[in-house]
A and B are shown apart, each in its own frame.
Chain A
């Protein structure tokens, strides 16, 4: 077969301009490689611009700081070590994590923090995500300006390092020759098909969380495809996974999703959504409770819990006293920077009034009226509320053992219901890689020149995103991108 003629040739082509892709591109360009970064959206940033903090172990920031006061059951006398992190990922995933990949991450995460600092990132805190969450470790490096700012700085660093950044330029196909990568086919912003030669290709397209078809096909939470509510405008449609499968890649632990609860048709910073995410009374379409609402301590676990309910529909129920409590005293649990711990939900009443008028939340002067307005069986719902109020009075939840401090009765009219929905933020892995982030085939052999990084790559997760090590998705994105690029550099330079 005649050798393909390319429109242009690079050493490395990176597919996707989020945190993992930019970290890969920057590393390679700084090492002197000729690098193109292809981003299908008009702006780079991917899911990373919605990320808040970055997970790392034994970082310079952790070494400089005093361990925050103990907040949960875990008596954290020190910041998490690499070993702590390693054990966490392996245990949390029930050994479905790939130890090689976990090792790569915990060993290299601290350097990520130093590199970000050298780009001008300032870390304001190293903490946990949901204050008072007993299981979390203090791995969450919180940058000033959140990850949106980090992504801005990273993009400028890429441009200054000489990376050719092409936006509105989706990659369509990996080009192969004799079982090795020889390039990528893409379509540029004006619709021209471009054949781009490359000695290595790093897939960093962010997974398939925004493709209902792929969620249906690949995830154990396949029903989400029918009722997922997309709360951030990402376009992660599994481009990398599909392209990799076409050239013989294999999958591993495919189908984990990072799911967060969000009030349907609102944003994560909405105060109605924040109220609905609190451990108040939750019922599903049957009008009954279904879990200890305390699961809201971990958004990933509560996302999964909501995703399991019929049609993914959950009604968060609270009364006028709880509205007052949330407005005046603040939230009982935090959701990172979206809804901070003890944040006063000052807009709650205005939002509820607005949402009720629009028909996306409901109000009733009696429990029965609320049930009718929502469309629940009034008798069943009234019974649920009565049982719940009884548990609140006794300070004991015999049904689901929710802690007494979250037992707030539903007694004072008016009563409200917020429509909570499961929202896929991103899928967690799919393409099997080795510790160098090389994509492996059915024989577990690396496909020469092909890498997968960030949420594209499997290795850290079992069936669920691990929020006990907060910032993992973002930390892994940056770290895996860099480590993949280092391997590509070595290979290309023949070192």
Chain B
């Protein structure tokens, strides 16, 4: 049975996790790197059976190579194609799926083989459930499962793929770093503080974390109304601001419904709290159970070093 997999790679995100998931299906796993040669070289050390490199030209976005990647995929005819949920990866995956006439499934957490079929388990109902989907034919999946650290003692040689100049239909003009003062409502990162913080002087910790993360600061209603540590325009929750950052780090926030309704659309929610029963642990993506006074200083240095 053909269980050949292609993993579309535009950066290192989830590369190990996708490799691991595809390997478990039993077939040959190919990394199709669309990007720099250097990226392909580092991917080649992870343990793929084959690494192809579609080297992109300066100033041309990876998406411009979508049709060429799709043609190559069609020639190889993999049973499974994976990409991470980065916007570039998803677009390339769509192109390959169309060319292969493959089934497309998003938010896939797990993959398995059942007889002649692949069973993809995708996250549904707002992450509360997994749905098992039986796919008899070719499958293109956006992989959202656990990442795994991968490495191999025997790097494979990178195969440079012939790439044609994609022309000028798409070109990069500039990259703009996030403005520090994007404002709470549109900020990509937000640090939220609750009354788990013991005193106003400790807000220095939150200031430092926000600075290290290039984040805006927000707070719960009691922090504003009862402690008066922040003005009301920093309050997130019902009757106050609703925010949708990429990353929300909740420090010392218990997770009252009033507050949680304001961060419902945040992409990734991290909670730091020392109460294992804190409600927020039911409503976050990552929960660090521990003393915020010990955890936050480490978070600050972690973000300073590689955030």
Contact = CB atoms under 8 A, between A and B. Distances in A.
Binding partners A and B: yes
Interface of A: 43, 45, 49, 145-146, 148-149, 152, 233, 266-267, 269-273, 347, 350-351, 354, 358
Contact of A272 (B226, B256, B257, B258): B226
A387 B281 CA distance: 49
Interface string B246-271: 00000000001110010000000000
Contact of B200 (A145, A272, A273, A354): A354
A145 B257 contact: yes
A145 B280 CA distance: 11
Contacts of B228: 354, 358
B207 to A, nearest CB: 18
B195 A149 contact: no
A358 B225 CA distance: 13
Contact of B238 (A45, A266, A273, A351): A45
Contacts of A354: 200, 227-228
A350 B229 CA distance: 11
Given A152-B261, A233-B239, A358-B228, 15 more contacts: A45-B238, A49-B238, A49-B239, A146-B257, A148-B238, A148-B258, A266-B225, A267-B222, A270-B226, A272-B226, A273-B226, A350-B200, A350-B227, A351-B226, A354-B227
Contacts of A146: 257
A145 to B, nearest CB: 5
- Secondary structure at the B interface, as helix, strand, loop or mixed, is loop
A426 to B, nearest CB: 16
B221 interface: yes
A267 B226 contact: yes
A270 B238 CA distance: 17
17 contacts: A43-B238, A49-B238, A49-B239, A49-B258, A146-B257, A148-B257, A149-B257, A267-B221, A269-B222, A269-B256, A270-B222, A270-B226, A272-B226, A351-B226, A354-B200, A354-B227, A354-B228
Contacts of B195: 347
B120 to A, nearest CB: 26
A361 to B, nearest CB: 12
Contact of A269 (B199, B200, B226, B239): B226
B1 interface: no
Contacts of B225: 266-267, 270
Interface string B182-224: 0000000000000100111000000000000000000001100
A45 B238 CA distance: 10
Contacts of A49: 238-239, 258
Contacts of A267: 221-222, 225-226
Interface string B227-242: 1100000000011000
Contacts of B261: 148, 152
A289 B282 CA distance: 46
B198 A350 contact: yes
Interface of B: 195, 198-200, 221-222, 225-228, 238-239, 256-258, 261
Contacts of A269: 221-222, 226, 256
Contacts of B198: 350
A266 B257 contact: no
Contacts of A351: 226-227
A145 B283 CA distance: 11
Contacts of B239: 43, 49, 233
Quick one: which of A233, A269, A272 has the most chain B CB within 10 A?
Answer: A269
The 10 A-B residue pairs with the shortest CB-CB distance in the complex, in nearest-first order:
A270-B226, A148-B257, A267-B225, A145-B257, A233-B239, A266-B226, A350-B199, A146-B257, A269-B222, A347-B195
A235 to B, nearest CB: 11
A465 B164 CA distance: 78
Contacts of B256: 269
A146 B239 CA distance: 16
A271 B258 contact: no
Quick one: which of B200, B221, B225 has the most chain A CB within 10 A?
Answer: B225
A289 to B, nearest CB: 27
A424 to B, nearest CB: 17
Contacts of A266: 225-226
Contacts of A148: 238, 257-258, 261
Nearest to B256: A269
A270 B257 CA distance: 16
Nearest to A267: B225
Nearest to A357: B228
A337 B256 CA distance: 10
A135 to B, nearest CB: 28
B264 to A, nearest CB: 9
A45 B239 CA distance: 10
A227 B227 CA distance: 23
A267 B238 CA distance: 15
Contacts of A271: 226
A67 B239 CA distance: 37
Given A49-B238, A146-B257, A148-B238, A347 B227 contact: yes
A347 B226 contact: yes
B18 to A, nearest CB: 34
Contacts of B222: 267, 269-270, 347
B196 to A, nearest CB: 9
A270 to B, nearest CB: 4
B106 to A, nearest CB: 22
